[in-house]
Structure formats: C-alpha cells, structure tokens
Chains A and B, each alone.
Chain A
Amino acid sequence: DGGITQSPKYLFRKEGQNVTLSCEQNLNHDAMYWYRQDPGQGLRLIYYSQIVNDFQKGDIAEGYSVSREKKESFPLTVTSAQKNPTAFYLCASSMGRGRDTQYFGPGTRLTVL
C-alpha cells in the first residue's frame, strides 16, 4: 500500500538531547513537509523540501534541522536549541504544486522530560 510512515509514534527525550524523527513515503512524491501541532494552534510549517538535496525553512525552523538525501525520506532532527519541543509532529508529502493534495503520516508525539 502506498503511504507515509512516521516512526516512532511516541518519543521521549531528556532536555539537552537531540532526537531524530523518521518520515518515509512510497508515493513517489517530489515534495515533503514537516509540521508541528500544538493544542489550539493548528499546523505550523517547520521545513519543506521540493526536491532531493534541497529544502527551505518554514515559519518555525529555529531549533530544527532536516536532510533530503533520498526522494523517499525526510528526517527531522529536533535539537537541544529548540526551547519547547514537546508537541505532535506531522510529516506530509505531495506532488509539490499548490493545487496538489498533501498526504499525511500518522504523526509522532514527542515529549521532553
């Protein structure tokens, strides 16, 4: 089945540690996106990538980093510089144009202890 997978579903980390969230898609989509979701705040774009080896900052990129070495994969690293990393993180992919549907993974809930 085609789709987007995110792992792990739940992630716990200690303050001061970096952590990497996985996102893989087998939809052959060019574009991939990372969103952060906090209660009552909707979706906020962290990073997006339109093509392999290229990515752009979204609205809240500070404290996060990404890579896009393969078309299928777009991992997100939450660094220790991110002041309030506890949130629900969603990965999405699309063909890349404004008219194209974004397809979402099931999300990763990150909790900083």
Chain B
Amino acid sequence: AQSVTQPDIHITVSEGASLELRCNYSYGATPYLFWYVQSPGQGLQLLLKYFSGDTLVQGIKGFEAEFKRSQSSFNLRKPSVHWSDAAEYFCAVGTDSNYQLIWGAGTKLIIKP
C-alpha cells in the first residue's frame, strides 16, 4: 500500500536561514508528488507538484522540491525563510490507480525572529 512519511512533526528555523522539509513515500511506480501549505485555521494551498521530467520542481513563494527516485524522497526547500512562512506543510502522493491522495501527517514550521 502507498504511504507518505514526514519524519519531522515540528521544525524551528531562524528567519533568513535555509529550510528543508523531508518527505518519503512508498509506492512501486513513479508517483505524482505534491506539497501543500496550510496557515492556521485556513484551507490548504498547493506549493508545487511533480509528475515527470525534471526532478527539480519550482513552486510558489520561492519554494522548490527535488524528486529522488533512489531515496523515495521529495524534500521541500527554501533558501531563506520569512516569518510569513510559518505554517504547516503537507506532502501527498497520487497514483494512476487511485482517485485519492495519500497524505503525510504534516510538518509544522516555526520561525524564530
């Protein structure tokens, strides 16, 4: 069965520092990979997604993610975080055999001033 693991429940980063949020998936074929962001009390917004082709994907708000098939990972990165990036981040996997997305448990990003 497909699964998604976000190993970090919380991450604290200083404003201006770089960020990497981890996402590992379990799926036999090439999955469709998504990163979403959720501000407190809000819905989720898509940051970026990977289907095929270039393994480095650019998204909104200066985020990028790299698909590494050998490591079954799709880590989210940002070179310099801003206080407004404080939110919860979710990784999700989609497949051709399923209409659903499989969701990770989320990583809460805390920004230190």
Contacts and interface: CB of A to CB of B under 8 A. Distances in A.
B41 A109 contact: yes
Contacts of B46: 101, 103
Contact of B96 (A42, A88, A98, A104): A98
Interface in B44-69: 44-46, 49, 51
Interface string B70-113: 00000000000000000000100011111111011110000000
Interface in A35-70: 40-43, 45, 48, 50, 58
Give the interface residue-count category, chain B. 20 to 34
A87 B23 CA distance: 25
Given A42-B103, A42-B104, A58-B100, A98 B44 contact: no
Contacts of B104: 42
Contact of B51 (A31, A88, A99, A103): A99
A20 B90 CA distance: 27
Of the listed residues B43, B98, B104, the one surrounded by the most CB atoms of chain A closer than 10 A to its CB is B43
Nearest to B42: A106
Contact of A50 (B36, B99, B103): B99
A45 B100 contact: yes
Nearest to A109: B41
A40 B9 contact: yes
Interface string A79-113: 00000000010101000111111111111010000
A40 B94 contact: no
Contacts of B9: 40
Given A41-B105, A99-B32, 7 more contacts: A101-B46, A101-B49, A104-B36, A104-B44, A105-B43, A107-B43, A109-B41
